[in-house]
Amino acid sequence: MHCAMRAFILLLSLALCCRADDVVERIIAHAAAHPAGDAPVSFERAVFDKDTRHLPIGVFDSGIGGLTVLEALLTLDAFHNDSLQPGADGVPDFARERFIYFGDQANMPYGNYSAAGRTDYLRELILKDAVFLLGSRWHDGKAARPGKPPVKAIVIACNTATAYGLEDIRAAVKAWGLPVIVIGVVEAGARGVLETGGKTGAVGVLATVGTCASGAYPRLIGGTLGLAGRDVPAITQHGSAALAGVIEGDPGFTQSVAECAAQEARALLETLRQEAPGQRLGTLVLGCTHYPLARGELDAAFTTLRADPRFSPLLEDTLAYVDPAEWTARELFRELAKAGLRLKAGETCDAGAHSFSLSVPNPACSGVKLAEDGSLDRDYKYTRLPGDLMREDTLNTPLKAAALPAVGRNLVEKRLPEVWRALGGGQ
């Protein structure tokens, strides 16, 4: 390659790299400049100088898909609560804790920002989600108010947000000097592959287009297996632009879950055939919040493909499924225990109950463009630039079961009983 061209590429990548870092630096400086937590994208710094054990745990996702992770958090019983030893004791592991859930519904799907060339804006959105959980500022639809409890730990329930934002959030938390634990579903999923993945065969990752584009799963699975002294198998990914929406019942999609699952299962195997000839799929990572809800349909699809001579050489006799949600819950338990942040017997959380918030478009924000149904206009959504942290084109408002978007309500009521109960469903 010509010398001048090489120098140009080097300068360009340095410029891109600096611009990317600006996203984190800007939010770190902005929140530090508003230590009372009364401005958008800020939190009350002094809260974290006291004991934080009595604070709730924050969980966020791009929308309501992360409620599958919350269901895993509410139901996990993999440890003895008092001795902290592994094994079920009949009491949910987080029974004493309270959770604050936030879904950035107005700005989703996160999985499509990378294809639109707006990864920088996505990273800013993800950092803002974390700051919302750390802070006390929320919106009642008319005005911003104080009073939301801050959190002692942040669980990134979204695979795409973990892939693009985990390191940024950890860097910001460190820069602010906060004793806050940050857990992401992708790291936890990689640990799940180590502990329960198939003994033979390739690993397949089914996720959003954005998660796959980030390469986070292959990197973390490879690193986790390698550190444990295990051989790293072939790892194949397939990004679906449709499956999450179909599972949620988004009217923009006409396929059934079974049809879409069959299409994506086949596409994953075709990719495996091209990328790793001669390999058979032995482990499937359900690398998107919604996919555990379609596990039955995916399993049926792989069973059908196993009976098809064109696909049977690509599949092991049994497929081990890894659901990162369950591994995230285990990781959180371990990290809280290690940091001495679990509530002990007799202690209670400052937040009396679990609580839920969703973002909604803010029609009063100047320049905002809305679609006919009141959601953010698609072009507007995917062409925004990072940098204006005082601008609030979406607002984080409380969510009750009755106000759940119709597409997700059925899913939560039927498939996530503990979350439905915590949301006050049926009352």
Binder of ligand DGL out of 52, 62, 105, 355 (CB under 6 A):
62
Contact 382, 112 (CB under 8 A): yes
Contact 360, 398 (CB under 8 A): no
Of the ranges 108-116, 346-354, 384-392, 418-426, which one interacts with ligand DGL (CB under 6 A)?
108-116
The count of other CB atoms within 10 Å of the CB of residue 266 is: 19
Would you list the DSSP string of 278-309?
T--EEEEEEESTTGGGGHHHHHHHHHHHHTST
The verdict on whether 18 is a catalytic residue reads no
Residue 160 as a binder of ligand DGL (CB under 6 A): the answer is yes
Residue 288 as a binder of ligand DGL (CB under 6 A): the answer is yes
Residues 202-231 that bind ligand DGL (CB under 6 A): 208, 211
The residue with tokens 């002990």 is 344
Query: Which CB, 42 or 159, lies closer to ligand DGL?
Result: 159
Residue 61 as a binder of ligand DGL (CB under 6 A): the answer is yes
- What's the farthest any 2 CA atoms get from each other in the chain? 70
Contact 26, 387 (CB under 8 A): yes
Binder of ligand DGL out of 109, 165, 201, 282 (CB under 6 A):
109
Binder of ligand DGL out of 110, 138, 164, 327 (CB under 6 A):
110
Query: Which CB, 63 or 204, lies closer to ligand DGL?
Result: 63
**Do strands 355-361 and 394-398 pair parallel, antiparallel, or not at all (unpaired)?**
antiparallel
Residue 279 as a binder of ligand DGL (CB under 6 A): the answer is no
Query: Which CB, 151 or 288, lies closer to ligand DGL?
Result: 288
Residue 395 as a binder of ligand DGL (CB under 6 A): the answer is no
Query: Which CB, 42 or 396, lies closer to ligand DGL?
Result: 396
Residue from 3, 288, 349, 365 carrying the catalytic annotation: 288
Binder of ligand DGL out of 52, 119, 159, 362 (CB under 6 A):
159
Binder of ligand DGL out of 289, 355, 357, 362 (CB under 6 A):
289
The verdict on whether omega for the bond into residue 398 sits within 30 degrees of 0, i.e. cis, is no
Helices (H), 177-317: 185-196, 209-214, 216-227, 243-248, 257-275, 295-306
The residue with tokens 């008319």 is 142
Query: Which CB, 93 or 248, lies closer to ligand DGL?
Result: 248
- CA nearest neighbour of 150 among 64, 217, 50, 243: 50
Binding stretches for ligand DGL (CB under 6 A): 61-63, 65, 108-111, 158-160, 208, 211, 244, 288-289
Active-site positions?
158, 288
